[in-house]
Each structure stands twice: as structure tokens, then as C-alpha cells.
Amino acid sequence: MDFTGEVVRAGSRFGMANCCCNYPALSNAQTEASRRKWNNIRTGFRERWSEKFGEWPREANGDPYQGHHIRDLKHGGNPTDWDNIIPFPKELHEDLLTPYNQCYASQPPWTSPGGSYPYGE
């Protein structure tokens, strides 16, 4: 059931072997080095993002949304990659910790198959 096309590689074995939950954790020192790198460019990143996509979103109190690293820093995510960072409201961003930790710990619901139509449910 695996498929390799011009744009995408997909299928059951590909997804299991390349799941983001399979990335090993970095040491605390490596993670902190990545976090420092993100903190050093965060303001400039938001400015450049705004030039390209419009103003970086803000919370109701005026604070800028946090930058969410899709592949998190603890598991080797690039701290400055445009394709790895999206703006996220603080409350929701903090709520992401639970599913991320469940995924990396191989805990349910990440250990069971999803719905028949995952993008429609």
C-alpha cells in the first residue's frame, strides 16, 4: 500500500517509519541551544513573516501569538525554519503539550489507528 510519487511519499509503512513521534529526544543542552537560537531571531522572524503573510497574529491583550515549532525543539526541530514555525495562540499552544507528550511516549490515542476519513472527522 506504499506509494512514491513526484510530490509525495505515503502509505502505511512510510507513515509508521517516518512519524514525528519516532524522533529521538535531544539532550537538555542541545534543546536549550535551539531555544536560544529561536529566542534570538523571534522578533525579526515575526517581522519578516509579517512582510510575507500580513501582520503576525496577536492575543486579545495585544501580545503576539507564540511561534509553534511543528517538529518541536526537544526532538530536533529546526528553530528557524520557515516550514517548521506557525503562529499559535498561547492557550492552545500550551494545550499541545499533552498530545505531543502522548505521541512521543507511545501512549493512546497515538498507538491506535485513526478514523476512516481523518480530514473529515
In whole angstroms, give the CA distance from residue 57 to residue 52: 13
Alpha helices in the chain (DSSP H): 12-17, 28-53, 90-95, 97-104
Residue with cell 512510510: 14
Please state, rounded to an integer, the average pLDDT across all residues of the chain.
80
Domain spans of the chain? Answer: 24-104
For 24-104, CATH number? 1.10.30
What is residue 44's predicted lDDT score, i.e. its pLDDT?
A: 94
What is residue 8's predicted lDDT score, i.e. its pLDDT?
A: 57
For 58, which DSSP code?
B
What is residue 14's predicted lDDT score, i.e. its pLDDT?
A: 47
Q: Which three cell numbers stand for residue 69?
A: 515549532
The verdict on pTM exceeding 0.85 is no
Contacts of 78 (CB under 8 A, 6+ apart): 69, 71, 84
